[in-house]
Structure 1
Amino acid sequence: MDSERAHPHVDMSDQDRNEAIDRLYDVALDPERYETLLDKWESAVRPLRAQADFSAPRLLDDPMIAGHFHRAGEFLDRIDVGRDGDGIQGILAPFGKVSAFVLDDCLKVRAANSAATERLSLGVNSKLTDLAVNYEDIKAIGGTVRSLLASTGQDTAVLRVRSLTRGHFVVLRLQRCQTAGGVPLVLAASSEVGWPEGFNDILRRAFSLTGAETGVVKSLVECCSVSDIAVQRGRSIDTVRAQIKSILSKTETHSQVELVRLALSVMDMANLTLDTQVEPRLVSKGNGSLESIPFQSITTPDGRRLDYLILGAPKGIPILFLPLDYGLVRWPASAEAEAAKRGWRVIVPVRAGYGQSDMIAKAENFDDAMVEDVLQILETEKVERCPIISMGSDSFYGMQLALRRPDMFTALIACAGVLPMTRREQFERMEKWHRFILAGAKYTPHLLPFMVKAGFLLARKIGKRGFVHAVYGSSPADVETFENPEVFESMVTGSEVALSTTHSAHESFSRMLLGRQNGDWSADVDALKGRLPVIFMNGTDDPQVPRESLQEFEIDHDWIDYRVYEDAGQLIFFRHWPDVLKIVESFLK
């Protein structure tokens, strides 16, 4: 009983679970559908969060949900997000041997892949009536397409229609989509497929199916009836029905139509690949006003490569900069020039798993290794005393460093600083993007890796400007700050260590969120009282720490020097860096 109280198990409703799983596979196929999962997940999870004791927040320890997240995460690894997703052809890009075509509101084919042309005789400008299925089925498809385009809340549908040419049933999965220009369309993926090479092995591994069961799935995808399958396989109808029952149980689907839909989604994903080779980035290159700066590299005691940057004056007075988990390792050009003018050497660690810095072994504690890595960089730079500037949740690491080496650090200036979240309301107040990830780390840590990985791939696919506008869209101050040309250049350039065309730091990001900062580290904060000057510079437009949460920080830790800006959000460093430098200067004397 004690264990149950410590980790309460709370179930989703069947409807919420099934809808969340649907969104999950949509995201695994197309990261641009991330926000649909985010919205569905929040509506399902928020009532459940309220049922749990905040001190024992483990929710949704649901093996069905966890299993689907795990599988979707594996499929997500296959996505080639480097493809050009713009235009109608980009919509069809994920589909190889699966017959797929795109319909507009006039029920005309706007694009069709080669499989659709070969097996369905459809091409550009074909009409829906050219599809060789029963007349009544044409009417049903047309009505469903119009319903999806009307945005009535449903964005996918599965129909079973009969082919006039081959006489068998065909499954069509319809999904609302749009071009980069916002034109609404409907993507139709058909069960008229060429079975991909090696797909049997993928199904067996993903769902623990037997060889016979994968053969049954193949026949169901081809719309064979139970009696047809029995004849094909030389088995009784009862045997085939028993196999289908076993398959439904293993795949956690509830009908043959749902099973076929899942198989088609997995097939789509199996045709995708992701190049995971890390590009050699030896220089941080600006795109305009920023100067190019070479990465410095050292080797850790356990043999890992560890990179860092020096901004400003290479031999100047040292300052440590902790650049947020987005890896914002560059400053606006004017700020870097000012640091050089003042003779300041700004040391910026590139944490493990970011850029060319090697990842920490899974068995190692990420937080401890992070602190030791930073201290090794400072030792290499022969730093004896320096202040720390941190961004966002890196205030946690700033405090850990001060606890580890109280003699080394003169002050912590935390821009958009974060303190331990000790109240459920502090999560509820966050804007939805931050809540989805941070509350996920708190309440469903076993599902976090997929959430983060999908978010990183979304950022790569839609571009960093689109991603920043999505994440910070509810913070006008942050959007305005980001659109400053110097800030834009510094954020896009700096974040290359977190996300580039061939590299994603999602694993490190997840491990940081699942570390000690995910719990109550108030004792660490209190231990610094009277030992280290701590200045928090926070904006009231911060989507992670809004005004009410900041006021609670001020009550919980009233010894910290809080400086509040009404015109800033989480990107306050980039908006008010001159004020930051003034504060830093007072701790360099």
Structure 2
Amino acid sequence: MESASQAEPLKAPAPEPEELKALVLSVIQGEQDYQVLLNMLEPVTLGVQGLQGDTALTLALLLEEVEQQAELNDQLYALVKDEGAPALALTESGVILAQNPAAQNLFGTSKGEGIARLGVSAQDFRDFQQRIFQYEGPSLLRTFPPLSDPPCDDNTLPLIFIGLYNGEHQTFLLRAVECQWSDSIDKALEDIFQLTDAERDILACLAQGMNSEQISHKRSRAVGTVRQQIKSLLGKMGASSQVQAVALASAIGSQSYAQQSSHSAPQAALSGYPLELGELMRGQRRVGWRRYGANGGKPVLLHGSYFGAGEFPQDREWATRHGLDVIVPERLGYGRSQPPGKGEDILATQVEDCLAVLDALNIPRVYLASHDSGFMYALALANRHPERASGILAMSPSAPFQDKDSLDYLPRQHRVFMWAARHAFWSVRLLIRLGMVQMRKLGPERWMEAVFEGVPHDLEVLQAPSCRQGTLGTYGFNLNQVGKGYELDLEVSMARDWAPLVRQAEVPVCGLVGGKNMATPPNFVRSLQALNPGIVLKEISEAGQTLCLTHTDHCFRLLAECVDGSLEQEHWLLTGGEGLV
């Protein structure tokens, strides 16, 4: 590889600090595209000099501001995607910052409109704020959604919101107090309290803050009839007042909603071959894991990449066909596995997480598979606990970067991140945060454009209809911890020398390399064999970084042979990758 000292000199001036600051803030606020920032930083990554001192200082000082704005973006994004009860985010002046679909449908409002559209007066909003600030806790705000056929003012139906204040971002987050329960809970109310259909509906109306007159209008019944039904349901429930009945109804509704939300199945588990999700606690940390294929078959532990965690149906299908029981501990910072504590070693934590998952599933020994940067973690597990690992099949493996290695061959986005990890690791977090804004801007159907910008072969693979289910599933998997997993991967791969892991590997290691892989091309990956001649590599010329998706059957067939011990490495070396496909 060409050394950094041989690279062409810087051909474009480094960005001016004020220009860079304005651009970063416009990107994090969604006003400009992330690619504009990459264009500005690219000349620095191609030159022999780093960022100028004042430019680097500008970026460093921006980090906290970007983190705060990104945190707000995360909250607003989660709110907008919330499919539950109506929810809103308001500024201190009562302007709508964000709303979920239920609130938008209910009020017909748009971002930027004021509280008057919610049926809230300026004085009511001031009183709501005063209660929060004075008592330092949540408060209630009564709204009046518009009706297609509005009744008289006395019968206008209110909707109560409970609101909290976020002092760091000066915003109010509100969620409607609604009483929603499943059919099974509804049947329980009927069986236990002998409530009629009408009484159960009235109970829900009471929980929403309606009085007898408003319920009368909603149900098109006489007020006297409604009052008699309220009296009847209070007697059946043993409640001395409407307050007690409402408290019970609200508790039932919120509990059933929380249970429904926390146990929702991923899209991948709803069709075709199943994907099992599990988690365990290791100390104070949560560790998530996935399982697919032939449960109880030949055990394989997969260190998956951001597109290799079982979301793609072809993975689950071919694992099952080849009799492989694939266990995927979610890597640190991805999915549900929480990052290690301050000062804890990343590789050691990941290894112990894997062992904890295997022990929980009563699996003593496995064959290891890996995608992309997962190769580092597979090596660490095999080296530290050879009694638990039989060998490694690495798909699209990377190799250790040396200080002398040029990054010029990499696609622009990869090069910017690698350069930042090598020369100014503190800036990685800033770039990742800005990248998350871009991914969310593109949405679940197009998020891969932000990751595979400048890599047309792999982008085309992920945009294929056959991969749609997987790309949708991995969208949430990657954004769940706002890019923390990628930051940890860069810290392991770029900020430390992991070449000793390669040299010390004593278990059999086979690698599949895509000839069209622009991020870790074959010539670069072959440096693994210079570190450890026992490593066997084979190239599939028409594949890229996504070879585990384009050649799924081949990968799992080869993995099954590795697990069985029937792979003849000498034959594999002679035939070449194309001969195996």
Task: Please give the range of the TM-score, normalised by the shorter of the 2 chains.
Answer: 0.5 to 0.7
Aligned to 1:261: none
Could you tell me which of 308, 313, 317 is aligned with 2:294? Answer: 313
CA distance in 2, matches of 1:554, 1:60: 42
Aligned to 1:408: 388
| SS of residue in 2 equivalent to 1:407 | helix
What is the CA distance between 1:37 and its match in structure 2?
A: 1.2
CA distance in 1, matches of 2:332, 2:484: 10
| SS of residue in 1 equivalent to 2:511 | strand
Give the letter for the 1:18 counterpart.
Answer: E
CA gap of 1:288–1:561, structure 2 versus 1, over 3 A, is same
Give the letter for the 1:406 counterpart.
Answer: P
- Equivalent positions of 1:460-539 (< 5 A) are 460-499=440-479, 503-515=480-492, 518-528=495-505, 531-539=506-514
| SS of residue in 1 equivalent to 2:288 | strand
- Equivalent positions of 1:108-119 (< 5 A) are none
- Equivalent positions of 1:125-136 (< 5 A) are none
Note the alpha carbon deviations across 1:262-293, whole angstroms, 9 max, x for none.
xxxxxxx9577899x99735633328744453
Point out where structure 1 has 5 or more consecutive residues left out of the alignment: 1-9, 86-92, 100-110, 116-196, 199-268
**8 Å contact 2:27–2:434 — kept in the other structure?**
yes
Give the TM-score taking structure 2 as reference length. 0.61
**Paired-residue identity, %:** 19
Aligned to 2:431: 451
| SS of residue in 2 equivalent to 1:489 | helix
**8 Å contact 2:399–2:524 — kept in the other structure?**
no
- Equivalent positions of 1:62-461 (< 5 A) are 62-79=56-73, 80-81=76-77, 280=262, 283-286=265-268, 289-300=271-282, 302-324=283-305, 326=306, 328-330=308-310, 332-461=312-441
Note the alpha carbon deviations across 1:65-101, whole angstroms, 9 max, x for none.
201223222222112235879xxxxxxx9999799xx
CA distance in 2, matches of 1:443, 1:496: 30
**475-484 vs 326-335, which moves further:** 326-335
CA gap of 1:469–1:72, structure 2 versus 1, over 3 A, is closer
**340-349 vs 386-395, which moves further:** 340-349
CA gap of 1:27–1:412, structure 2 versus 1, over 3 A, is same
Give the letter for the 1:20 counterpart.
Answer: L
Note the alpha carbon deviations across 1:25-65, whole angstroms, 9 max, x for none.
11121176211111112224432xx247xxxx999893332
Give the letter for the 1:42 counterpart.
Answer: E
CA distance in 2, matches of 1:582, 1:318: 14
**8 Å contact 1:333–1:490 — kept in the other structure?**
yes
**8 Å contact 1:309–1:347 — kept in the other structure?**
yes
Could you tell me which of 539, 542, 546 is aligned with 1:564? Answer: 539
What is the CA distance between 1:554 and its match in structure 2?
A: 4.9
CA distance in 1, matches of 2:450, 2:497: 29
CA gap of 1:533–1:58, structure 2 versus 1, over 3 A, is farther
CA distance in 2, matches of 1:37, 1:94: 30
CA gap of 1:493–1:587, structure 2 versus 1, over 3 A, is same
Note the alpha carbon deviations across 1:384-434, whole angstroms, 9 max, x for none.
322111111111111111111112212211111011011554422111122
CA gap of 1:563–1:272, structure 2 versus 1, over 3 A, is farther
| SS of residue in 1 equivalent to 2:473 | helix
Give the letter for the 1:293 counterpart.
Answer: L
CA distance in 2, matches of 1:574, 1:418: 17
CA distance in 2, matches of 1:343, 1:408: 20
Note the alpha carbon deviations across 1:276-333, whole angstroms, 9 max, x for none.
x997356333287444534122221x13222211101222221011111x26311532
| SS of residue in 1 equivalent to 2:379 | helix
CA distance in 2, matches of 1:490, 1:465: 10
**8 Å contact 2:439–2:450 — kept in the other structure?**
no
What is the CA distance between 1:541 and its match in structure 2?
A: 2.0
Larger Rg: 2
CA gap of 1:328–1:31, structure 2 versus 1, over 3 A, is farther
**8 Å contact 2:286–2:337 — kept in the other structure?**
yes
Asked if 1:582 is matched to 2:578, the reply is no
Query: What is the aligned length?
Result: 402
**424-433 vs 413-422, which moves further:** 424-433
| SS of residue in 2 equivalent to 1:348 | strand
**8 Å contact 2:438–2:450 — kept in the other structure?**
no
Give the letter for the 1:584 counterpart.
Answer: L
| SS of residue in 2 equivalent to 1:588 | helix
CA gap of 1:16–1:83, structure 2 versus 1, over 3 A, is farther
| SS of residue in 2 equivalent to 1:307 | strand
What is the CA distance between 1:555 and its match in structure 2?
A: 4.6
What is the CA distance between 1:517 and its match in structure 2?
A: 5.0
CA distance in 2, matches of 1:554, 1:464: 38
**8 Å contact 2:413–2:453 — kept in the other structure?**
no
**8 Å contact 1:78–1:273 — kept in the other structure?**
no
Aligned to 1:228: none
Aligned to 1:38: 38
CA gap of 1:272–1:506, structure 2 versus 1, over 3 A, is farther
CA gap of 1:495–1:270, structure 2 versus 1, over 3 A, is closer
CA gap of 1:314–1:14, structure 2 versus 1, over 3 A, is closer
CA gap of 1:480–1:28, structure 2 versus 1, over 3 A, is closer
CA distance in 2, matches of 1:509, 1:444: 16
Note the alpha carbon deviations across 1:234-275, whole angstroms, 9 max, x for none.
xxxxxxxxxxxxxxxxxxxxxxxxxxxxxxxxxxx9577899
What is the CA distance between 1:23 and its match in structure 2?
A: 1.4
**8 Å contact 2:445–2:471 — kept in the other structure?**
no
CA gap of 1:428–1:97, structure 2 versus 1, over 3 A, is farther
Point out where structure 2 has 5 or more consecutive residues left out of the alignment: 1-9, 82-88, 96-109, 115-128, 131-167, 175-257, 565-581
**8 Å contact 1:367–1:516 — kept in the other structure?**
no
CA gap of 1:379–1:287, structure 2 versus 1, over 3 A, is closer
CA gap of 1:62–1:338, structure 2 versus 1, over 3 A, is closer
Give the letter for the 2:347 counterpart.
Answer: D
**8 Å contact 1:421–1:519 — kept in the other structure?**
no
CA gap of 1:525–1:346, structure 2 versus 1, over 3 A, is same
